Homo-oligomer: A and B are copies of this chain.
Amino acid sequence: MIDVIVIGGGPAGISAGIYLKRFKYEVLVIMKDFGSLEKTDHIENYYGFPEPVSGRQIVENGLSQAKRLGIPIKNEEVLNIDKNDFFTVKTAQNEYLAKAVLLATGINRPNLRIPGFSDFVGKGISYCAVCDGFLYRKKTIAVMGDGDFMAEELSVLRNFTNNLLVFTNGVPLRAEIQDVKIITDPILRFSGNEVLSNIETKNQKYDVNAVFVAIGTPSAADFALRMGAFIEANLIVVDDTFMTNIPGLFAAGDCIGGLSQIAKAVADGAQASIFVNKYLRTKTS
């Protein structure tokens, strides 16, 4: 019987794993891939690294750190989680039994089925204003979205430029936005040469230097949903103790929403471990 299975080998999962291992629990990390950090080349805002570092390098550092502390890491895809007295985590290769599970799966960023979209991800199309906004200072920036998430990104982007456009992509605007042109026409195509330079709708072609995608539909965590965990806007709902509505099922990092930054995921993991500890103590005492 494993004490805690952590699903996800990124900053939130490994940070939690390190703390839980320190608390002398038997921890297993199951991970599928490097997640959204795989595609991030140049991180200079995670505290402690004097020089820019790639997302891949940070994840690899974390995995080395975990292994050095004796935490086993399996590269398997989780297919299902069941709970009876304990949790059964089923992967393509194995079944594991655990007292508690921590979901730290990150988010699946929406890959829009609009011609040109996937061609320009990382070449003008970004998912994070805080991360990439400064690259487009005084340039024309479009934000895709219609609600609060879009409004948040817009408020960050106002620091870099006054040339802002909002594309709701055929949906009515839900957020209250001032001083910005709103285009509600559906987007037909993203175009450009090496990098993005245009957004085309039925009626017009817009010159843009960047698009920030802020549609309120990130994460999956389908298995959490299948277990009956509450999900809102594709994010896993947790209480102040990082626990879902299912006792013993915890979540941390991007999959619970909030600031999509390594710093926040790492802190989530550390904080969640404190509450996983409390949960396990209550169960066994």
List A residues 126-150 near B (Cβ within 8 Å): 130, 133-134, 137
A24 touches B159 (CB 8 A): yes
A46, A68, A268: most-surrounded residue (chain B CB, <10 A): A46
Kindly report which residue of chain B lies nearest to residue A67, judged by CB atoms: B50
A238: B residues at CB distance < 8 A = none
Q: Is A202 an interface residue (CB 8 A)?
A: no
> Are B134 and A24 in contact, with the CB atoms below 8 A?
yes
Oligomer copy total: 2
Interface of chain A: mostly helix, strand, loop or mixed: helix
Inter-subunit contact A15/B263 (CB<8 Å)? yes
List residues of chain B with CB within 8 A of the CB of A2: none
For residue A122, which residues in chain B have a CB less than 8 angstroms away from its CB?
none
Contact A47/B277 with A19-B130, A130-B19 known, Cβ cut-off 8 Å: no
Q: Does A64 contact B (CB under 8 A)?
A: yes
Known A22-B134, A24-B160, A47-B62; contact A270-B281, beta-carbon cutoff 8 A: no
Nearest CB in chain B: distance from A60 CB, A: 8
| Residues of the B chain whose Cβ atoms lie less than 8 Å from the Cβ of A159 | 23-25, 277, 281
Q: Closest residue to A264 on the B side, CB-wise?
A: B267
Whether a CB of chain B sits under 8 angstroms from the CB of A8 is no
Say yes or no: is A45 at the interface (Cβ < 8 Å to chain B): yes
Q: Does chain B have a CB within 8 A of A266?
A: yes
Task: Indicate if the CB atoms of A15 and B47 lie closer than 8 Å.
Answer: yes
Minimum CB–CB distance from A155 to chain B (whole Å) comes to 7
Chain B residues with Cβ below 8 Å from A25 are 159
A269 CB within 8 Å of chain B? yes
Query: Could you tell me the distance between the alpha carbons of A47 and B104 in the complex, rounded to whole angstroms?
Result: 14
Find out whether the CB atom of A14 lies under 8 angstroms from the CB atom of B47.
yes
Per the bound structure, the CA–CA distance linking A9 and B61 in Å amounts to 25
CB distance from A212 to the nearest CB of B (A): 15
Q: Which of B160, B266, B274, B278 contacts A267 (CB 8 A)?
A: B266
In the complex, what distance in Å separates the CA atom of A160 from the CA atom of B25? 10
Min distance, Cβ A198 to any Cβ of chain B, angstroms: 26
Q: Which 6 A-B pairs rank lowest in CB-CB distance, beginning with the nearest? A: A267-B267, A50-B64, A263-B270, A47-B266, A15-B47, A263-B267
